[in-house]
Structure 1
Amino acid sequence: MIWPGGMRTFARFSDLPPLESAMSADLEHIRKIMAEADCLYTEAEVEAAIARVGAQINDQLADSNPVVFCVMNGGLIFSGKLLTYLNFPLEASYLHATRYRNETSGGDLFWKAKPEVSFIDRDVLIIDDILDEGHTLGAIIDFCRHAGARAVHTAVLIDKEHDRKARPDLKADFVGLPCIDRYIFGYGMDYKGYWRNANGIFAVKGM
C-alpha cells in the first residue's frame, strides 16, 4: 500500500503469517500432550503428600518464626496448599529465580524477583515445585545463607530420582513424592508454560 505523497510501503494483512492458525496448532499440541500423558500421581495422592509434608514442618519449625518463600511460578500451587497446613506464626513471601524460560531444558539462572522480606538471623523455608538437577534451588539456598539467614530449610513437592544433581549434598529437607526421571507437569509444574493447573502429576509421553 502507498500512502499519498510518500513512498512508505506497508504489508497487507493478507501478507502476514496466519497467527490464529499457528496459535490453534500450538493449542492442539498442548491438548494432545495432556491427552497422551501418563498419570504418575493422582490428585488424592498429591494432596495426601502435601498434608504429610505440612505435619513434618509443623513438628520441626513451629517454634522458629520462619520466613517462608514460595519460588515462583512453579511453587505457587504447592506453596498455597502447604501453607494451609502450617499452624504456627510465619511470614509468607515469594521470590522468582528460574533457568527454564518455558523450554524443556535448563539455561542460565535469571533472577526476576529477589526477596523483599528481611530474613537476617531468621529461619527461612523455601517452597518449590521440584528438585530436579537443583541448580535453581541451590542458588537460592546460597543466596539466603550469604544474605544472613540463620538456617535455610527446603520443601519440594517432587524429588526427581537421577544422578545429575548439581552437587552431591543437595537434598530437600521436606519431600512430598519421589518421581522417576521423566518430563513432568501438573500442580504448578508446566509443559512450555501450560498445564500448571493439571490436578495430578503427569509425565509427557516419550519424555
Structure 2
Amino acid sequence: MHSIQVHDKIFVPYLSQQQIQQRIAEMAQRLNQDLAHERPLFLAILNGAFMFAADLFRQLTIEAEISFIKLVSYKGTRSTGHVITSIGLDEDLYNRTVVILEDIVDTGKTLHEFLPQIHHQHPRKLLITALLSKPDAREFPVTIDYLGFSVPNRFLLGYGLDYDGLGRNLPEIYQLKE
C-alpha cells in the first residue's frame, strides 16, 4: 500500500485488505455462533456499508436475510449534523432479530436518530455490527455489539468510505495525511 491522492487530499495506508478480511471472518464466525438458532435480518446502511455487508454476508453460514437502507449525514470530510433517510425500510421487523451493519460509527448521530425508527417496529432483538468505531468522536451513546476495529478520530477512506463520492472502491482503508 502506498499514499494516494483523492480530489485535493493525500491519504496514507491504515488497514490492509488482508487485515480487513481477517477481521470480517472473525466477526462472521461470532455471528454464526451467536445467532445459530435464529433467522436474523441484516440491515446494511448505504452507501458506506455495502462492501462490508457483502463480505460479511458471504461468510455467514446461518439462515439470514439482508436488506438496505440509505442514511446520509456526510458532505466532504465533515458530518452535516443532519441525518436524511433517502431509501426507506420495507421489511416488517416485528419480533425479528435485526442486525444493523454500519461501516463506521463516529459521532453516533446517525444511529441515534435512526434507531428509534427500528425500535418503533418492535424487533425481538437489535444488534449493531460496525466495521469501524471512532470512540474519541462519540457524541451520542451507541452500543456496538460486534466491532471490527476501534480507530482514531481521523478521516478515513476506502472499503466503502468515500471522500466526496470517490474512494469507495479501494480494497484497503486509508487515513487523511496530516
Q: Which residue of 2 aligns with 1:187?
A: 159
Alignment of 1:104-183 (within 5 A): 104-107=77-80, 108-162=82-136, 164-167=138-141, 170-183=142-155
Q: Does the 8 A contact of 1:141 with 1:152 survive in 2?
A: no
Is 2:3 the counterpart of 1:30? no
> Deviations for 1:49-78, whole angstroms, at most 9, x for unmatched residues?
110110111111121211111100000000
Question: In structure 2, how many angstroms separate the alpha carbons of the residues matched to 1:73 and 1:182?
Answer: 19
Q: Compute the displacement of 1:151 (Å).
A: 1.3
Q: One-letter code of the match for 1:109? A: V
Name which one, 1 or 2, has greater alpha-carbon Rg. 1
Q: 1:99 is paired with a residue of what secondary structure?
A: strand
Q: Does the 8 A contact of 2:137 with 2:153 survive in 1?
A: no
Q: Which runs of 5+ in 2 are unaligned?
A: none
Q: Which residue of 2 aligns with 1:85?
A: 59
Which of 22, 28, 35 is matched with 1:61 structurally? 35
Q: Does the 8 A contact of 2:106 with 2:137 survive in 1?
A: no
Question: In structure 2, how many angstroms separate the alpha carbons of the residues matched to 1:164 and 1:176?
Answer: 17
> Which consecutive aligned stretches of 4+ in structure 1 deviate over 6 angstroms post-superposition?
none
Q: 1:158 is paired with a residue of what secondary structure?
A: strand
Question: In structure 2, how many angstroms separate the alpha carbons of the residues matched to 1:81 and 1:180?
Answer: 23
Q: 1:162 is paired with a residue of what secondary structure?
A: helix
Task: Count matched residues.
Answer: 174
- Report the TM-score when normalising by structure 1: 0.79
Q: 1:109 is paired with a residue of what secondary structure?
A: strand
CA RMSD of aligned residues (A): 1.7
Q: Which residue of 1 aligns with 2:45?
A: 71
Richer in strand (by share): 2
Question: In structure 2, how many angstroms separate the alpha carbons of the residues matched to 1:70 and 1:143?
Answer: 15
Q: Which runs of 5+ in 1 are unaligned?
A: 1-28
Q: Which residue of 1 aligns with 2:68?
A: 94
Q: Which residue of 2 aligns with 1:196?
A: 168
Question: In structure 2, how many angstroms separate the alpha carbons of the residues matched to 1:30 and 1:149?
Answer: 40
Q: Percent identity?
A: 24
Q: Does the 8 A contact of 1:145 with 1:151 survive in 2?
A: no
- Report the TM-score when normalising by structure 2: 0.91
